[in-house]
Amino acid sequence: MSEFIEELTIEQFEEGEQLIEVLEKEILSKGAWATILYLYREKDRKTMEFK
């Protein structure tokens, strides 16, 4: 678990290959229940291209 909300991410790597890339991140609220919006793109596992 991250100590600071700014450090949280949804990026995912598998065997050194990035599968999820965060394009933008917006923190809407902080506190016990933080609200965070992510704009991201995923890599297609068949073509290995981001969609």
Residue 29 resides in a domain: yes
Global confidence as pTM? 0.77
Flag whether 19 is in a domain: yes
Which among 37, 15, 39 is positioned nearest to 26, based on CA atoms?
37
The domain of 9 spans: 5-42
Question: What is the total count of domains within the chain?
Answer: 1
Q: Is residue 48 part of a domain?
A: no
1-51 pLDDT, tens digit each: 567 899 999 999 999 999 999 999 999 999 889 999 999 999 998 998 998
How far apart (Å, rounded) are the C-alpha atoms in residues 42 and 46?
A: 12
Residue at 51 is within a domain: no
What is the residue type of 20?
A: I
Q: Is residue 14 part of a domain?
A: yes
